[in-house]
Chains A and B, each alone.
Chain A
């Protein structure tokens, strides 16, 4: 995924990641062909169309990505205990996204202070993203999904979604399977089995060259690749799923002023988790005929030191900002040979208690709710599309959603602000996809905003309308 989810405004607001998560910015990650090479099975076993999982794909993931149907290089003890089991195919994959993004109306050019202009509209990403994966079995009960990504917004290579799993399955007295495991991952919900939670929810990818709304909940990708979490889970009879775990800050590129090393985290780091943030998940899936229905709840409770930045350090002590997220999700799938239909959605409610930021001008408490609903249809996994609705509403808070960004020149370009201090954003997404082959997707996506950062017209106070941010996004997406 694009690592940058924090806008300049977010940094100015001092609640960076939390105030500036791109609504609907889902990771551009996916199923990878290395799984197919390892299992010897076609993509359709685990996916309707990548990256959406089928029931079999969910079970494969819960079991740690280790199902292997290739010859193994092995080592054993004298008691025939396995010390090593390496598939003879290395489970590597590459993935590329090449894109073109065009907003309905261009944005101001801030490069030349005092010389107003308009930035060029229509951005080619070549690539928008290029990723290398190790995805598959590592040891008999240990598998992983590593993603290393070059992203064109940062121009650097960095860690992307990662999920390391230990898992095993035992048979209970009634012969029902109970899968149990641990996930060590860097993005809350990236380990989840359903495509409803933010880590793998719709949209599966989005432009990184457009204007993004100000607000997003903590669990909605704000801490992707910024944390390390260890969770434990139980998956009974391939239907009932329960998970509990904790996340701690794991900053990338952060340097301790004293040690000169990667830690300990100090006041030059922003939004540092105090202690460990609990994550929980409960879901039930019922399968019949070619249908699958899942309903679940999940949540994240995180307390943060606002911290600072190099040169503007703030001690990691004192009051904390707390973000308590509780969410529901639901997914229906029909997986036929000819037709594939998915109806899914999630609702995230966040309660904020901003003890650490209230002195800087935020409300002491805020609420934020995000809803996403989508319907996806494919014909023969070749031609299909998605229609989605998204909505974010919440408390007005000038400290979180400021009315102006003041440039050194004194000008306020608007665009990424909210004139009425509201996070409310609402709109639709429509996407058409064509897959000439199962690992190659050609997409055209359009996002239409009815409301953006609190308003439909002149939402920024300098004349920009929500619809000016409507975006056409063309994408070539493939993996091998």
Chain B
């Protein structure tokens, strides 16, 4: 938990350590088209600040390295940074409307600035995702099939088409591998009801029945 506000009030305080030499070096790299430094990449002080927030605030629910133990809270370790940043901005803008987003994340993200969001996304994406569950079951087998092939009879496309064959996602398509099954299930239900208003996922989920959602969630939880 923070002894700091999550509104970035400490951020500029720590960013003051972004001394002139560092600024100059950054500017020089950018001017030279410096490889490895993107214009929107957070500076070192912001990254340090974000790490502290991640461990001492976000970590209470999501785990210090993003591998939450509680299936209510999604695992963030290894998540794609673009997706994480987009979600944090959606929380901040109060446009993501599933119940836990409203109850928890609207407040937590309300004062985050773009730099901190980028740094938080970078922090979690750099963490190693730990396996969430293992084992085989009929539900996992069924889920694997749905994930890879969809349910053509119900007009449900293959999840792998966007989230990748290994369920690691790409850019704005989130990593699903290793995610808590309960969390995935809840999100699918939110997409279906449009509480979480994402047109693509509403289209996918609206024809999924509860058993199919359960199966996909069970499968994803076992994926490395």
| Residues of chain B lying within 8 A (CB to CB) of residue A70 | 7, 110-111
Nearest B residue to A237 by beta-carbon distance? B64
State how many angstroms separate the Cβ of A301 from the closest Cβ of chain B. 31
Stretch at the interface among B20-28, B98-106, B208-216: B98-106
Interface residues of A (CB under 8 A from B): 39-42, 44-45, 55-56, 59-60, 62-64, 66-72, 74, 76, 79-82, 85, 140-141, 167-169, 171, 175-177, 179, 238, 287-290, 335-337
The residues of B that contact A74 with a CB separation of less than 8 Å are 9
Q: Are B2 and A63 closer than 8 Å at their CB atoms?
A: yes
Contact assessment for B2 and A290 in the assembled complex, using a CB-CB cutoff below 8 Å = no
Give every chain A residue within 8 A of B107 (Cβ-Cβ): 39-41, 69
Q: Is the CB of A72 within 8 A of B7?
A: yes
Tell me the nearest residue of chain B to A65, going by C-beta. Answer: B1
* Interchain CA distance A67-B69 in the complex, whole Å: 22
**Chain B minimum-CB-distance residue to A167:** B3
CB < 8 Å: which of B1, B4, B52, B70 contacts A287?
Answer: B70
Q: Does B164 contact A (CB under 8 A)?
A: no
16 A–B contact pairs at CB < 8 A? A42-B104, A63-B1, A63-B2, A63-B3, A66-B3, A67-B2, A70-B110, A71-B7, A85-B5, A140-B3, A140-B4, A171-B55, A175-B55, A175-B65, A289-B71, A337-B72
Do the beta carbons of A289 and B108 come within 8 Å of each other? no
C-alpha gap A67/B6 in the complex (Å): 7
Checking A45, A63, A287 against B69 with a beta-carbon cut-off of 8 angstroms, the contacting residue is: A287
Task: Assess the A169–B2 pair: CB atoms within 8 A.
Answer: yes
- Given contact pairs A63-B1, A64-B3, A290 touches B71 in the complex (Cβ within 8 A): yes
A238 to B135, CA, bound (A): 30
CB proximity to A under 8 Å, residues B152-201: 186
- B71: chain A residues at CB < 8 Å are 289-290
Q: By the criterion CB–CB under 8 Å, are A80 and B12 in contact?
A: yes
Determine whether the beta carbon of A69 is less than 8 Å from that of B6.
yes
Minimum distance in angstroms from B108 CB to a CB of chain A: 6
B108 touches A169 (CB 8 A): no
CB of B145 within 8 Å of the partner chain: no
Contact A40 B3 (CB under 8 A): no
How many angstroms between the C-alpha atoms of A179 and B52 in the bound complex?
13
Out of B12, B57, B59, B102, name the residue touching A67 (CB < 8 Å): B57
How far is the CB of B60 from the nearest CB of chain A, in Å? 5
Contacts of A238 on B, CB cut-off 8 Å? 60
Chain A contacts of B64 at CB under 8 A?
A: 175-177
Q: How far is the CB of A183 from chain B (nearest CB, A)?
A: 15
- Asked if A69 meets B102 with Cβ closer than 8 Å, knowing A55-B60, A56-B60, A59-B60, the reply is no
What's the nearest-Cβ distance from chain B to residue A172, in Å? Answer: 10
Bound Cα distance from A64 to B1, whole angstroms:
10
Known: A40-B108, A67-B6, A290-B71. A80 touches B13 (CB 8 A): yes
B6, B56, B71, B106, most chain A CB atoms within 10 A:
B56
- Hey, which bits of chain B sit against chain A, CB under 8 A? 1-7, 9-10, 12-13, 16, 52, 55-57, 59-61, 64-65, 69-72, 102-104, 106-108, 110-111, 186
A39 to B70, CA, bound (A): 21
Inter-chain CB contacts under 8 Å: number: 102
Are B1's CB and A41's CB within 8 A? Answer: no
State A258–B165 Cα separation when bound (angstroms).
Answer: 85
* Min distance, Cβ A52 to any Cβ of chain B, angstroms: 17
Q: A69 touching B60 by the CB < 8 A rule?
A: no
Task: Evaluate contact between B52 and A69: CB separation under 8 angstroms.
Answer: no
Partner of B103, one of A45, A59, A66, A72: A45
Chain B nearest Cβ from A476, distance in angstroms: 25
- Alpha-carbon distance A79/B60, docked complex (angstroms): 31
User: How far is the CB of B117 from the nearest CB of chain A, in Å?
Assistant: 14
Q: What B residues does A64 contact at CB under 8 A?
A: 3
Contacts of B108 in A (CB 8 A): 39-41, 69
Minimum CB–CB distance from B13 to chain A (whole Å) comes to 5
- Tell me if B16 and A80 are in contact (CB < 8 A): yes
- List 6 other contacts, CB 8 Å, given A68-B7, A70-B7, A287-B69: A59-B60, A64-B3, A67-B1, A72-B9, A82-B9, A169-B1
Instruction: Name which residue of chain B comes closest to A79, CB basis.
Output: B16
- Interchain nearest-CB distance for B19 vs A (Å): 13
Contact A69 B12, beta carbon cutoff 8 Å: no
**CA of A81 to CA of B186 in the docked complex: distance in angstroms?**
43
List the A side residues contacting B69 at CB < 8 Å: 287-289
- Complex Cα spacing A288 to B63, Å: 11
Nearest A residue (CB) for B102: A42
**Which residues does chain A contribute within 8 Å of B59, judged by CB atoms?**
177
Closest to B107 in A: A40
Of all A-B residue pairs in the complex, the 10 with the closest CB atoms, nearest first, are: A40-B107, A42-B103, A63-B1, A41-B107, A168-B3, A59-B1, A68-B5, A69-B107, A169-B56, A59-B60
C-alpha spacing A51/B60, complex, angstroms? 20
Complex: chain A residue closest to B65, CB-CB:
A175
Q: Nearest CB to that of A55 among chain B residues?
A: B60
User: Are A69 and B3 within 8 A (Cβ)?
Assistant: no
Which of A56, A66, A67, A80 makes the CB contact (< 8 A) with B61?
A: A56
Candidates A44, A66, A177; contact of B55 at CB < 8 Å: A177
Is B5 a contact of A81 with CB atoms below 8 Å?
no
How far is it, in angstroms, between the C-alpha of A249 and the C-alpha of B32 when the chains are bound?
69
Nearest-neighbour CB distance to chain B for A424, whole angstroms, equals 42
Q: Given the complex of chains A and B, what is the CA–CA distance between A336 and B180 in angstroms?
A: 14
Bound together, the chains give a CA A64 to CA B3 distance in angstroms of 8
Contact for A69 among B5, B16, B65, B70, CB less than 8 A: B5
The answer, among B12, B72, B110, for a CB contact under 8 Å with A40, is: B110
Known: A41-B103, A42-B102. A289 touches B70 (CB 8 A): yes
